[in-house]
Amino acid sequence: MSVQTAQPAAGLATPAYPPAQHFIGGRWEDPTSGKTSPSVNPATEEAHTQIAAGGAEDVDKAVRAAHDAFRGKDWRRMAPSQRGKILWKLADLIDEQRANLALLETLDTGKTLFDSSKIEIPLVAEIFRYYAGWCTKIEGGVVPLPGNAMGLTLRDPVGVCGLIVPWNFPMLLATWKVAPALACGNTVVLKPSEKTSLTALWMAKLGSEAGLPPGVLNVVTGPGSQAGMALVRHPLVDKISFTGSTEVGRMIQKEAAATLKRVTLELGGKSPNIVFADADQKAALRGATTGIFYNKGEVCAAGSRVLVDRKIYDQFLEALKADTAARTVGPPTDKNTRMGPVCNKAQYDSVLAAIEKGKAGGARLVAGGQSLREKFGKGFFIEPTVFADVDPASPIAQEEIFGPVLSVIPFDSPEQALEIAHNTRYGLAAAVWTRDIGKALSLARDLRAGTIWINAYNLYDPGLPFGGFKESGFGRDLGKDAISAYTESKSVWVNLD
Ligand code: NAD
């Protein structure tokens, strides 16, 4: 593995920061407590700005603004084509602000500027455009009834949606929820991660410039245990859609039960990337490495277990070692960097602890395994790490590490690969690498996971639903499924006599 110098690239623009305030009812609002908390740059370990430390009172204000905006009908009864125009305009404004939004994302998360500016922010705009198109296509149906009567089904917006998102893809994962929720005519209170709130605040401000009526999109920043929990408990919130850890998801489901809120949960994963001997080896290698090292492994669907056909195990492992060793770790603003620091100190500690667990548990460390913090002087840098011959039942093959740590496991037959693939509590994603289409499709049919890639990994499209089986959660973001998730079905019986 090669290492960059710790100096950020020269010539970076000065970021335009949002104020350390919430965005409520169409304007910036101070936190009731008057308190702020730092947003830390993981490459320097320094606070690069402050955000408002919101709590229950701020959430209450935002929920009431969203509730009033929903009752006020300006949004949900707006001509659907006009709603679509506003979402499209928001996409255009995001494109215009791409450089700044991408820079903020990189400073907050440690992801490379290439990824944030060339992949994530453009995808954010695309998702708003995709759902702008849906506004005019949310339809009900007609149902034949006995006698002289007609049945109609309508799709109504759910109401006030509380959207809670994590720090790994801050603006992108917020958009997965905000765009369909708004397209369906709901109003929103968005609670981004307290570690990465900046782009969510700009999203709300740009939404207002695009023409969203006041109160339609509100953002409250602050800790999950306070601002997040207050949103989950608030009686005027109709739905919670949460992306984050399985543990917090479980807690949210329990709390939301008190007011019987609709709940969508997108949680963790331990996704298997299954490589057969007949696969295109070069493509499979690229899928295995980007599957785990893209965004430093801080991807819910990361291919953190690579299952390799024993017939090619040794040669595939050698290639994996060489590719991992050649990956350039360094400051995320440097254009030569392929992997930046992990997002925060808690994550840094937990990834290193998992690596130690792997070493102690007898897995064979074949690449990485060390912190690079000393080497750089500062920053939560960790080497891309590969363990071979991993026992499928061991903690590093079972627990979500959410970092650049790969477990490689051999298998002898498709049946055994399937058994190993299923042997975790998760079911978020999986991939199959083979040239045999019959084998690929039968595995795709049998694998219990929400997304299956065949000869691909980590690819997403606004039209393809995403979500989990088992303890990876339930409900789907994206695609048409999200339109169902943000609407309620209403039946109308019309007596024609
Ligand atoms: P997290 O669960 O700690 O936090 C996620 C969000 O929930 C944050 O906004 C946080 O402030 C809030 N939160 C925390 N405690 C809360 C509480 N008690 N009540 C209400 N809100 C609360 O997760 P994280 O550390 O930010 O993100 C990493 C996790 O997210 C990983 O487990 C990863 O797999 C998962 N994730 C899943 C997906 C998916 O689509 N399935 C996508 C990305 C990340």
Q: In whole numbers, what is the pLDDT of the chain averaged over residues? A: 96
Pocket test for ligand 1, best of 58, 109, 168, 426 (most atoms within 8 A of CB): 168
Q: Order across the sheet with 405-411: list the strands.
A: 364-367, 385-388, 405-411, 305-309, 272-275, 429-433, 451-454
d(CA 297, CA 306): 13
Q: Of 101, 147, 153, nearest to 122 (Cα)? A: 101
468 CA: nearest ligand 1 atom: 41
Q: Residue 9: which pLDDT band, with cuts at 50, 70 and 90? A: low
Distances (CA, A) of 261 to 102, 138, 160, 387, 471: 34, 22, 10, 42, 19
Which amino acid is it at 169? F
Q: Which of 120, 266, 298, 383 is catalytic?
A: 266
Reply yes or no on whether the pLDDT at 307 is more than 80. yes
- What does the pLDDT look like over 40-71, one tens digit per residue? 999 999 999 999 999 999 999 999 999 999 99
- What does the pLDDT look like over 107-135, one tens digit per residue? 999 999 999 999 999 999 999 999 999 99
Q: Is 266 near ligand 1, meaning CB less than 6 Å away?
A: yes
Q: Is 164 near ligand 1, meaning CB less than 6 Å away?
A: yes
Pocket test for ligand 1, best of 300, 398, 472, 481 (most atoms within 8 A of CB): 300
Reply yes or no on whether the pLDDT at 373 is more than 60. yes
- What does the pLDDT look like over 311-365, one tens digit per residue? 999 999 999 999 999 999 999 999 999 999 999 999 999 999 999 999 999 999 9
Q: Are strands 36-41 and 46-52 parallel, antiparallel or unpaired?
A: antiparallel
- What does the pLDDT look like over 396-422, one tens digit per residue? 999 999 999 999 999 999 999 999 999
For ligand 1, the distance from its centroid to the CA atom of residue 180, given in whole angstroms, is: 20
d(CA 352, CA 365): 13
Which amino acid is it at 26? G
CATH 3.40.309.10 region(s) of the chain?
Answer: 272-461
Residue with tokens 């939004």: 101
Percent of the chain with pLDDT over 90: 97
Which residues, in sequence order, are bridge partners of residue 191? Answer: 164
The answer to whether residue 300 is catalytic is yes
Residue 434's Cα: distance from chain center in Å?
A: 28
Q: Is 251 near ligand 1, meaning CB less than 6 Å away?
A: yes
**Going by CA atoms, what residue is nearest to atom 8 of ligand 1?**
193
User: What local confidence, expressed as pLDDT, does residue 10 receive?
Assistant: 55
For ligand 1, the distance from its centroid to the CA atom of residue 243, given in whole angstroms, is: 5
Tokens of 101: 């939004």
Tokens of 317: 């492992």
Q: Order across the sheet with 27-29: list the strands.
A: 27-29, 22-24, 217-219, 187-191, 160-164, 239-243, 262-266, 473-474
Residue 183's Cα: distance from chain center in Å?
A: 19
- What does the pLDDT look like over 417-453, one tens digit per residue? 999 999 999 999 999 999 999 999 999 999 999 999 9
Quote the pTM value: 0.97
Distances (CA, A) of 463 to 118, 250, 255, 305: 20, 28, 31, 27
Helix (H) or strand (E) holding 418: helix 414-422
CB count within 10 Å of CB 430 equals 30
Which residues, in sequence order, are bridge partners of residue 80? Answer: none
Compute φ and ψ for 239, nearest 5 degrees: -145, 145
Q: Residue 11: which pLDDT band, with cuts at 50, 70 and 90? A: low
Instruction: Determine whether domain 11-267+473-491 maps to CATH 3.40.960.10.
Output: no
CATH 3.40.605.10 region(s) of the chain?
Answer: 11-267+473-491
d(CA 372, CA 341): 9
197-220 per-residue burial string, b: 16 or more CB within 10 A, e: under 16: bbbbbbbbbbbbebebbbbbbbbb
For ligand 1, the distance from its centroid to the CA atom of residue 193, given in whole angstroms, is: 8
Q: Which of 300, 343, 383, 400 is catalytic?
A: 300
- The class that CATH gives domain 272-461 is alpha beta
- Compute the C-alpha angle 251/256/262, nearest 5°: 120
CB count within 10 Å of CB 129 equals 18
Q: Is 248 near ligand 1, meaning CB less than 6 Å away?
A: yes
Backbone torsion region of residue 176, taken as left when φ is above 0, otherwise alpha when ψ lies between -120 and 50, otherwise beta: alpha
Which amino acid is it at 356? E
Pocket test for ligand 1, best of 191, 225, 248, 474 (most atoms within 8 A of CB): 248
Residue with tokens 């007011």: 259
d(CA 480, CA 188): 19
CB count within 10 Å of CB 144 equals 7
Residue with tokens 């801080």: 298
CB 327 within 8 A of CB 296: no
User: What local confidence, expressed as pLDDT, does residue 12 receive?
Assistant: 78
For ligand 1, the distance from its centroid to the CA atom of residue 369, given in whole angstroms, is: 26
For ligand 1, the distance from its centroid to the CA atom of residue 165, given in whole angstroms, is: 6
Give the 3-state secondary structure of residue 485. Answer: helix
The crossing angle, in degrees rounded to 10, of helices 98-109 and 80-96 is 70
DSSP 344: -
Helix (H) or strand (E) holding 84: helix 80-96
10 Å CB burial of residue 293 (0-12, 13-18, 19+) is buried
